[in-house]
Amino acid sequence: MEAMSVNTKIVIIGCGIAGISAAHRLFKAGFHNVRILEATARSGGRIKTGALGDRIVEIGANWIHGPCKENPVFCLAQQYGLLDPEALTPENQAMDVGGHPPWVPNFFSSSGRKLNAEDVFPALEMFAELLNEGSEFPNQGGEPFSNMGEFIRSEVQQRSEEKWKDIDANTRSLQLCTISNMLKVECSVNGAHSLDEVGLGAYGLYKTLPGLDCTFPGGFEGLVKNLISELPGGLVTYSRPVRRVHWSNSERRENPVEVECDDGEKITADHVIVTVPLGYLKKHHSTLFDPPLPLHKLHSVQRLGFGTNNKIFVEFDSPWWDADCEVIHLIWEDEDAVVDTVLDIQGSWIKKLFGFTVLKPTERYGHVLCGWIAGHESEHMETLTEQEVTHAVTQLIRRFTGNPTISPRRVLRSQWFHDPWTCGSYSYPGKGCSEQDLENMREPLPWKGSQSKPLQVLFAGEATHPCYYSTVHGALLTGWREADRLISLYSNVSEPLKSKL
């Protein structure tokens, strides 16, 4: 296989983890005519380590979700020596948290009170129950609602009337406000504007791995740097956006694919692996492919969701949360219904920020919080100046703590929606989505039954993984998957045929 593969020309579009892992796999299998075209001046894509003062912070991916032996990101990180010893312990790898790590919470309310966890326990319990039930619909039609939001709201109304009929009106109202907070948490987790946009049947397609989520003490980008260092220098061309991919649905040509760059350069290839984010694909599919995507694939691109989740890092001189606290929830007491969106986005966007995670350990990070805000409110936040964001966050914290003197030392936010090469944060199964859509996403061009040369255009990237979408390990596995597809194409054909392919 080796001699033939050397000449097979493969172009990969995008140097995020999916593009890098595809190149890595191909190169190791003997394909040496591989190059990556990357629009920006850096590799990593949505893995992006930044700085807040002299501390590192993750602008994009933060955790290895489910760090266990089945998680390739965990295995590579371990191999490269990038993790703390604690993350490597068997206990850590065996802990099955079902995607929701058991973080120690603090709750603050909009009237400036710190609440006890017991005060909101009934709401947390009911919400956890509903998420579980929501993920158990089999995605075969027949669900009671089309989306998670309606399902949760309707169940909350029914169950609260039964279960909480004997508790006083104030306590009951606090539970409903807490449910609104939990809905906003889920908007961030799913990267969706509202749970009304997340398909009920499809919600359960996402699978978790065992292991207590861990972080990279030296930054997630360390993983990217290690992988890139094992590829030949010059394999990646930076600042080279691709404008159009010309493929062939009918004729048989020598080099059937032509990649046209923004600067006008045209590169021919035997195969192209497209790893651009789903947000970019939704916006640019009509100009990116010539001929256009087949309708069934296009409909799946449109049905799958791709929303925004941003971070706002806030540094303080001293903490206003408990020493053991890992997550802070901000509960608005003036929300009169169970809601996860804000009506007046310009005036009240900050109400969508569900709270903060605490960067740990303190010796490494100091007193830094990471605020989380999803949806259109988050997209509006991106348009504001850093001073405006700082002002809004300062007012918010003063209100919830009841302490009018608290002032952050530094603030830094991400802006994923306005990143022209990402156009949002990550994918989720939208309303009406099914497993078939995820299968269509990863289907190569031309599709089955075509007479033209097979596997001209292949698709990788987080949104093409059937159950680990929206994660780094999912994206990495899709890069390997598409590399393997090509590797097996060439290992399955006889020598005389190979020269014709």
Least separation in angstroms between CB 222 and ligand FAD: 14
Report the residue from 280, 306, 417, 459 that binds ligand FAD according to the rule CB under 6 A: 280
State which residue, 329 or 465, has the beta carbon closest to ligand FAD: 465
State which residue, 177 or 369, has the beta carbon closest to ligand FAD: 369
Pairing of strands 367-374, 355-358: antiparallel
Least separation in angstroms between CB 345 and ligand FAD: 20
Least separation in angstroms between CB 8 and ligand FAD: 21
Report the residue from 35, 46, 329, 351 that binds ligand FAD according to the rule CB under 6 A: 46
Q: Tell me how many degrees the CA angle 55-56-57 measures, rounded to the nearest 5.
A: 120
Total residues contacting ligand FAD by CB under 6 A comes to 39
**Scanning residues 199 to 228, which ones bind ligand FAD (CB under 6 A)?**
none
**Binding span for ligand FAD by CB under 6 A among 11-19, 198-206, 228-236, 491-499:** 11-19
Report DSSP letters for 219-262, one per residue. Answer: -THHHHHHHHHTSPTTSEE-S--EEEEE--SS---SS-EEEEET
Report the residue from 35, 65, 153, 193 that binds ligand FAD according to the rule CB under 6 A: 65
- Determine the Cα–Cα distance for residues 373 and 149; give it in Å rounded to an integer: 17
State which residue, 14 or 256, has the beta carbon closest to ligand FAD: 14
Burial class (CB in 10 A: 0-12, 13-18, 19+), 317: exposed
Of 1, 37, 3, residue with least CA distance to 22 = 37
Peptide bond before residue 446 is cis, with ω within 30 degrees of 0? yes
**Binding span for ligand FAD by CB under 6 A among 59-67, 317-325, 374-382, 490-498:** 59-67
State which residue, 178 or 275, has the beta carbon closest to ligand FAD: 275
- Determine the Cα–Cα distance for residues 497 and 501; give it in Å rounded to an integer: 7
Judge whether 400 and 110 are in contact, CB under 8 Å.
Answer: yes
Backbone angles phi, psi at 405, to 5 degrees: -105, -5
Least separation in angstroms between CB 38 and ligand FAD: 5
Report the residue from 106, 109, 135, 309 that binds ligand FAD according to the rule CB under 6 A: 309
**Scanning residues 425 to 454, which ones bind ligand FAD (CB under 6 A)?**
425-426
**Scanning residues 463 to 492, which ones bind ligand FAD (CB under 6 A)?**
470-472, 475
Rg (CA), the chain: 24
Least separation in angstroms between CB 473 and ligand FAD: 6
Q: Does 377 bind ligand FAD (CB under 6 A)?
A: no
Of 200, 231, 153, residue with least CA distance to 431 = 200
Packing angle between helix 472-492 and helix 435-442, nearest 10 degrees?
60
- Determine the Cα–Cα distance for residues 194 and 152; give it in Å rounded to an integer: 12
Beta bridge partners of 36: 12, 236
Q: Does 38 bind ligand FAD (CB under 6 A)?
A: yes
Burial class (CB in 10 A: 0-12, 13-18, 19+), 79: exposed
Report the residue from 201, 277, 371, 375 that binds ligand FAD according to the rule CB under 6 A: 277
Q: Does 139 bind ligand FAD (CB under 6 A)?
A: no
Report the residue from 11, 12, 47, 441 that binds ligand FAD according to the rule CB under 6 A: 47
Report the residue from 23, 56, 57, 61 that binds ligand FAD according to the rule CB under 6 A: 61
Q: Does 275 bind ligand FAD (CB under 6 A)?
A: yes
Report the residue from 11, 37, 236, 327 that binds ligand FAD according to the rule CB under 6 A: 37
Local structure of residue 116 (DSSP, 8 states): P
State which residue, 201 or 479, has the beta carbon closest to ligand FAD: 479
Q: Does 414 bind ligand FAD (CB under 6 A)?
A: yes
Q: Count how many residues are written for the chain.
A: 501
Q: Does 14 bind ligand FAD (CB under 6 A)?
A: yes
- Determine the Cα–Cα distance for residues 151 and 197; give it in Å rounded to an integer: 12
State which residue, 163 or 285, has the beta carbon closest to ligand FAD: 285
Least separation in angstroms between CB 480 and ligand FAD: 12
Q: Does 231 bind ligand FAD (CB under 6 A)?
A: no
State which residue, 315 or 482, has the beta carbon closest to ligand FAD: 482
Burial of 104-137, coded b for 16+ CB within 10 Å and e otherwise, reads ebbbbbbeeeebeeebbebbbebbeebbeebbeb
Mask for 234-253, x = binds ligand FAD (CB under 6 A): -------xx-----------
Report the residue from 179, 200, 205, 276 that binds ligand FAD according to the rule CB under 6 A: 276
Q: Tell me how many degrees the CA angle 419-420-424 measures, rounded to the nearest 5.
A: 55
Q: Does 311 bind ligand FAD (CB under 6 A)?
A: yes
Q: Does 351 bind ligand FAD (CB under 6 A)?
A: no
Count of other CB atoms within 10 angstroms of residue 334: 9
**Scanning residues 17 to 36, which ones bind ligand FAD (CB under 6 A)?**
17-19
Report DSSP letters for 396-421, one per residue. Answer: HHHHHHT-TT---SEEEE---TT-TT
Peptide bond before residue 277 is cis, with ω within 30 degrees of 0? no
Judge whether 372 and 309 are in contact, CB under 8 Å.
Answer: yes
- Give the footprint of ligand FAD on this chain (CB under 6 A): 13-19, 37-40, 45-47, 60-63, 65, 241-242, 275-277, 280, 309, 311, 414, 416, 421-422, 425-426, 461-462, 470-472, 475
